[in-house]
Structure 1
Amino acid sequence: MLRITKDFQFSASHRLDHLPADHQCARLHGHNYTVQLELSAPREDLTPAGFVRDYGDLSDFKKWLDTELDHRHLNEVVPDLNPSAENLAMWIYSVWSERFPEITAVRVSETPKTWAEYRP
């Protein structure tokens, strides 16, 4: 199995529900997010050029992030979802896995030291 990854960035605000009122994440705050897509394919499914997928094909994902998530309030973008990094990773996978069936994991980082990963 061969794997590729690509990182994308966006900035957004959110507030998390179901936390004590004095918890810092219960208040409105923002992050400079990094989203990492991992795509995988067995050797026999590589493109004729030898790619899992051409990185250029992922430009539509970047455009979507810039249009739908960048400088937005995530509670309004995904109103039925508490926008934790974990939930965002699952949501992004559900939105993009049909378009890119090679996606095997989505990772979301809110800070340089923290990551949440969804790997179905």
Structure 2
Amino acid sequence: MYRIRKEFHFSASHQLTHLPDDHQCARLHGHNYIVVVELASETLNADGFVRDYHDLKPLKVYIDDTFDHRHLNDVMDVPSTAENMAKHFYDWCKSRWPETSAVQVSETPKTWAEYRP
């Protein structure tokens, strides 16, 4: 299996209002997010790629236009946890690139969430 990954960055605020008031994530706060999309294929295309990295530019545009420097509570219909964001980006990518195999989202250098069916 061939796998490629590409990393995208954005900054945003959020608040997990469903958590108890004394939970640190219930307070308004922000993160410098990293989103990594992974694509996998058993074969390569005629150019020797799983997919050309340039083909992934629409994800950068989507992140920049919809998520960067936004309040995620205003953007997402579900709580803006890293887990929900990973699933959201996976679904978005999979609908465009069938080779999408996983998406990871990081809120801090030490924390990662992944959605992989």
| TM-score, shorter chain, exceeding 0.5 | yes
Report the equivalent of 1:49: 47
Q: How many residues align?
A: 117
Q: Which runs of 5+ in 2 are unaligned?
A: none
Deviation at 1:18, TM superposition (A): 2.5
Identity of aligned residues (%): 61
CA positional deviation for 1:57: 0.5
Show structure 1 runs of 5+ residues with no match: none
List aligned pairs for 1:1-120, cutoff 5 A. 1-43=1-43, 46-78=44-76, 80-120=77-117
Q: What value does the CA root-mean-square deviation take over the aligned residues?
A: 0.8
Distance 2:17 2:88 in 1: 17
- Mapped partners of 2:84, 2:38: distance in 1: 17
Deviates more, 1:46-55 or 1:92-101: 92-101
| TM-score, length-scaled by structure 2 | 0.97
Shift of residue 17, structure 1, vs aligned partner? 3.0
Q: Matches of 2:95 and 2:19 in 1, distance apart?
A: 33
What is the one-letter code of the residue matched to 2:8? Answer: F
* One-letter amino acid of the counterpart of residue 102, structure 1: E
Secondary structure of the residue aligned to 1:59 is helix
Large movers: runs of 4+ above 2 Å? none
Code of the residue aligned with 1:54 in structure 2: it is: D
